[in-house]
Amino acid sequence: MKRTLKERINLLGLSYPREMFIMAMLLVAFTIGGIALIVFLKELYIGIFVVAVGPISIFFYIGRYSSIEKVHEKEHVDELISLLSYFEIFIFNGNNVYNSFKKLIPYTSTFMNDAITTLLSMIDSDKSVGPYITFAGKFKSHVIESLLLSIYQMVDNGENISQFSEFDILFGNIRSKFQEDLIENKKRGLDTFNSFPLIGAGFVTIALSISILSVIGDYINVI
């Protein structure tokens, strides 16, 4: 189902009027800047370029919503994996699955708080695998589905220790992978900065080349 821009902004927890205001301001600022360059500094091409940057900046500004959505989805999965570490501590220290989920609530974000509260209320009325599947469906990850199924099996088999061991092995592997991903993501994030100095140097070189060509052009005109 295709969502409208307003729905997407609201789902991301952003304010629709504020986002619209920012976009309008971007458009106005670049337009005024471009017109000022043309009128006061007689720089026609640079002025047109600055005016054109306005709509382009809005295009990129709207494009960032997709990235924010992906970041949110990943954050939710990451948060759940962190919380399942705590869940494991509670289970191992004698709590049942229901109470362990309940004990997670003080450590959750608003999204996770709602998701766990819904899961608990669904478990109250439905003892099947349904609530666990519904809960896992909130996270776009097959890993989460496997973990939730493993937790359900624990419940279904009377929460005995052998089921816990199975969950422990599965979660142990996922937790290690999660750890590697955390470090790898940070490395990848830092690596993006490598291109910044090259862009800077390239920018100056281009500006210099254009300036020199315009000076040469002036000389030729004089001759």
Partner 1 sequence: MKNNILIFVVISLISGVTSYIALDNLLIAIAVLVVFLIMSIFVFSPMLSRYALKVKKFHECYHFINNFVIALSIKKSISGSFETTVNSMPNEFIELCEGLENMNEKEKLTYLSSYFNFHVYQLFIQIIDLWEDQGGDILQMSKYLITEIRYNEEYITKTDSLSKHKYVEIGILWTFSLLVVVILRFALKDFYQSIKNQLLYMLAIAIVMVFILLTMFLLISKGTSLKLKGNHHEKNS
Does the protein bind partner 1 through residue 211 (CB under 8 A)?
A: yes
Shortest distance in whole angstroms from residue 202 CB to partner 1: 9
100, 78 contact by CB (below 8 A): no
Does the protein bind partner 1 through residue 203 (CB under 8 A)?
A: yes
Site string for partner 1, 157-196 (x = CB under 8 A): ------------------x---x--xx--xx-xxx-xx-x
Handedness of CA 29, 31, 34, 37 (dihedral sign): negative
Site string for partner 1, 37-76 (x = CB under 8 A): ----x-x--x-------------------------x--xx
Shortest distance in whole angstroms from residue 117 CB to partner 1: 15
* Token output for 206: 């281009």
Separation of CA 40 from chain center: 42
100, 123 contact by CB (below 8 A): no
- Chain positions 118 to 137 lying near partner 1, rule: CB under 8 A, are none
- What is the C-alpha end-to-end distance of the chain, expressed in Å? 66
95, 103 contact by CB (below 8 A): yes
- Chain positions 70 to 99 lying near partner 1, rule: CB under 8 A, are 72, 75-76, 78-79, 82, 85-86, 88-89, 92-94
Which residues, other chains included, contact 9 with Cβ-Cβ below 8 Å and sequence gap of 6+? Answer: 15, 16, 19, 65
Shortest distance in whole angstroms from residue 114 CB to partner 1: 12
Give the containing element (helix H, strand E) for 126.
none
Does the protein bind partner 1 through residue 15 (CB under 8 A)?
A: no
Which residues, other chains included, contact 63 with Cβ-Cβ below 8 Å and sequence gap of 6+? Answer: none
Of 60, 214, 221, 222, the one binding partner 1 (CB under 8 A) is: 214
Does the protein bind partner 1 through residue 201 (CB under 8 A)?
A: yes
* Token output for 23: 């976009």
Q: Residue 159 has what DSSP assignment? A: T
Shortest distance in whole angstroms from residue 29 CB to partner 1: 16
Does the protein bind partner 1 through residue 215 (CB under 8 A)?
A: yes
Residue whose structure tokens are 């000076």: 215
Give the containing element (helix H, strand E) for 54.
helix 44-92
Q: Which stretch binds partner 1 (CB under 8 A): 3-11, 28-36, 109-117, 132-140?
A: 109-117
| Residues making contact with partner 1 (CB under 8 A) | 41, 43, 46, 72, 75-76, 78-79, 82, 85-86, 88-89, 92-94, 103, 106-107, 109-112, 175, 179, 182-183, 186-187, 189-191, 193-194, 196-201, 203-208, 210-212, 214-215, 218
